[in-house]
Chain A
Amino acid sequence: GNWARLAAQQQLTQDDLIGGGGSGNVTLVHITDIHAQTQPLYFREPEFNLGVGEMTGLPPHIVGADFRAMYGIEQGSAMDYALTYDDFVSLANAYGRMGGVDRIATVVNAIKADRPEALVLDGGDTWHGSLPALRTEGMDMVQIMNALGVDAMTSHWEFTLGSARVNELIENHVNPAFLGANIFDAEWDEPVFDDYRMYERGGTNIAVIGQAFPYLPIANPSWMFPEYSFGLRRERIAEVVQQVRAQGAEVVVLLSHNGFDVDRKFAEDIPGIDVILTGHTHDALPEPVQVGNTFLIASGSHGKFVSRIDLDVRDGAMQGIEHRLIPIFSDVITPDPEMAALVAETRAPFEAEMSEVIGQAGSLLYRRGNFNGTWDDVICNALISQRDAQIALSPGFRWGATVVPGQNITREDIFNATAMSYPAAYRSEMTGEFLKLIMEDVADNIFNPDPYYQQGGDMVRVGGMGYRIDPAAEAGNRVTNMTLLETGEPITPDQTYVVAGWASVNEGTEGPPIWDVVENHIRELGTVNIEPNNSVDVVAG
């Protein structure tokens, strides 16, 4: 209750969270994967974050008690609440919401007061994921990130606004350098955007190289940005690293949207990168991960954290690094009034629409982890009931705010879990053989032992069908025991099933937008209670 909350929060102060001055002579501020979340929110970290192959058991593939043990975090502490999943509801009650760009502005301003030349870097997935960002086609977030003083950014979901919109925003509105050394013109195979930006800070030359999400045309609809090709392009990145070194860069920073495991392998395969600011996989780690001479930073998602990185650069090389993962406890950090006013202005046209109460949360609604979260179950149930389907498929997105039990579910909450530019909830027939093909294909994009063959994201969420999965098995043999839950019968290859889903990457997909489907479903339920989902059986070996 309130008493526990007060007691917990009294232990925290803004100054302690932000920390004092750092060491070194170059300061970086990293924010990533905000997904257009301008408001303080709840966001439960994963219970399942399986690593495969060489990555098994390595950060960020540790959760819960193992995570606390690795980083010396006390159970029930503020950092436990911020970084792990267990006991989430009571800790959420005690510590309150996290994030809010007005609080982030306070933190950035405090760091800049200490280090006026700090570079503020945004890892992408910024212009997407909320109702205002959808309605303004990213303009609200562009204004907000300009006001925050972001120096450079890279991208992923930005491109789902369509390449014409991205270009229009960059040309006319975006202040940060829009970096993507791996974005090429699909026709002539030439770089399209700036590969890097060189900064001189206090006599030190810093190169920031941008790496956009490599698998955009596969994970998202390529018809929205047909003139661009992405890809890992590690040979190209290695060349750019050499190029900036030749131009006198004393520190090389990769502002990346590769995902953590891919970046870990980049650090092994590409010499000369000092710091990789990771993104896409939404991991938050309280310490850098060192791979050779490269340090990887993971700054979480949804505005929950800001990373401050202080580098000691002397004699033309990085000699030391200090990292502070600053948790944005929204009740402890005072909002910056100017940013609060700007955010209110961007939200004003949509306030009435967003605040309408659709239903109540009877149980915790979250979406983060390798398999179905409870928000996914709500969406799958909505697809089955509203689209009259036997089976529902929902993408393994890692974004979407958590709703705690007892909270009203507003239209804004529904959009926080669904807002995107290809929302059609399709209804189609698929054979059992094709369903198995989909399950295996997606499983290999997540559990392939070689990170270069992984796309990030999580397993497709399934309603109406159970299955057994062995992530360590060979491609094509991971998924077994597929069962139609309404009958308990096995899925058979030749039989046809009615399947509803959303977020198809195919052009011309038809159906009502997913937020309407979910809203109608929640209205019918009134109170949403999700029972534990035992329909996915995860086995090892």
Chain B
Amino acid sequence: GVGAAAAITLLPSVATAQDVDAAINAFTGGADTSPDGITLIAPEIAENGNTVPIEVDAPGAEAIILLAAGNPSPDVATFNFGPAAGAQAASTRIRLAGEQDVIAIARMPDGTFLRAQQEVKVTIGGCGG
């Protein structure tokens, strides 16, 4: 069933498109990104906006940055892979302040960048078949 009013907490202001662009540029230096060679796995609908499982995978990457475009601040985490990494892939759990795009950008050793993104819905919940 639909939740009573207690389900909603008002959130602080969210990041602007400029904030998101600035966070991306800080990592890419303004370089173009390609959509191939990077995988971002996120749930379509978050079970709980306070702990959303996210998986990123970009074979061969030096580093992957994770951003949440609709949070008060878009930065989430940066994964730097060392020589003993078994794969350039990692999973974590993140906070999402409402429905938004999660973005992953990988920096490759040749100086190019890869980008993946997915919309994650955060819902009040209730009801069912």
- The chain A residues found within 8 Å of chain B, CB to CB, are 33, 125, 156, 186, 189, 213, 215, 217-220, 222, 229-232, 235, 259, 280-282, 393-399, 422, 426, 428-430, 434, 437-438, 441-442, 444-445, 448, 450, 452-453, 455-458, 460, 501-506, 509
Contacts and interface: CB of A to CB of B under 8 A. Distances in A.
20 contacts: A156-B129, A215-B45, A215-B128, A218-B45, A222-B47, A229-B47, A231-B53, A235-B41, A280-B128, A280-B129, A395-B128, A434-B5, A437-B124, A438-B124, A448-B121, A455-B128, A457-B127, A458-B127, A503-B1, A505-B1
Nearest to A434: B5
Nearest to A219: B128
A398 B6 CA distance: 26
Interface in B44-68: 44-45, 47-48, 51, 53
Contact of B1 (A33, A456, A504): A504
A396 B127 contact: yes
Interface string B10-50: 00000000000000000000000000000001011101100
B84 interface: no
B43 A232 contact: yes
Contact of B53 (A125, A229, A396, A448): A229
Contacts of B128: 156, 213, 215, 219-220, 280, 395-398, 455-457
Given A441-B123, A450-B44, 17 more contacts: A186-B51, A219-B126, A220-B128, A222-B48, A232-B43, A281-B129, A395-B128, A396-B128, A430-B4, A434-B8, A442-B2, A442-B127, A453-B121, A455-B123, A456-B129, A503-B2, A503-B126
Given A502-B1, A503-B1, A395 B44 contact: no
Contact of B43 (A231, A281, A397, A444): A231
B2 A460 contact: yes
Q: DSSP majority for the A interface?
A: loop
B82 interface: no
Contacts, number: 124
Interface residues of B, number: 25
A37 to B, nearest CB: 14
A393 B5 contact: no
Nearest to B91: A189
Contacts of A434: 5, 8
A445 B48 contact: no
B109 interface: no
B73 to A, nearest CB: 24
Given A33-B129, A428-B5, A504-B4, A441 B47 contact: no
